[in-house]
Amino acid sequence: MTQKHVKHVPLRTCVACRTKRPQIELVRLVRSPAGEFSIDPAKGASGRGLYLCRNRQCWVDGVQNGRIARATRSPVETRSAAELMAWAGNNLSSSEFSRVE
Ligand SMILES: [Zn+2]
């Protein structure tokens, strides 16, 4: 990959499907030093950040099928996984790219 000359929009990669998207289209998660994962809606929390699409399938792959664990080399403990999937269930539709805001 060569570097582009112009880069207006910061791109981030979804850890589940590896698609690069503008940061604003993704949901940021952070991992605390204690190893807990949580949603970071303001995208400003400190800690190890990672991104998932607003697409429930990516959350299933990321949280339940181990993509987050592989990307961060840190297992998603059961409580965090339950919280993340509950959030996804409430905020994301199963069809791709429904807007939350
Ligand atoms: Zn994705």
pLDDT digits (tens, 9 = 90+) for 66-95: 999 999 999 999 999 999 999 999 999 775
CA of 16 to the centre of ligand 1 (A): 5
Whether 97 maps to a domain, the answer reads no
The one-letter amino acid at 83: E
- For ligand 1, the distance from its centroid to the CA atom of residue 34, given in whole angstroms, is 25
Q: CA angle 8-11-17, nearest 5°?
A: 155
Domain count for the chain: 1
**Do the beta carbons of residue 92 and residue 98 sit within 8 Å?**
yes
Domain membership flag for residue 33: yes
pTM comes to: 0.81
In this structure, is residue 5 part of a structural domain?
no
pLDDT tens-digit series, residues 18-66: 999 999 999 999 999 888 999 998 878 888 899 999 999 999 999 999 9
Distance 6 CA to ligand 1 centre (A): 24
Question: Would the pLDDT of 5 be above 60?
Answer: yes
- Identify whether 98 is part of a domain: no
Which CATH number does the domain housing residue 52 bear?
Answer: 3.30.1230.10
Q: Is residue 96 part of a domain?
A: no
Full domain range(s) for residue 57: 11-91
CA atoms within 13 A on the CB side of 60: 7
By the CB criterion, residues less than 5 angstroms from ion ligand 1 are: 14, 16-17, 53, 58
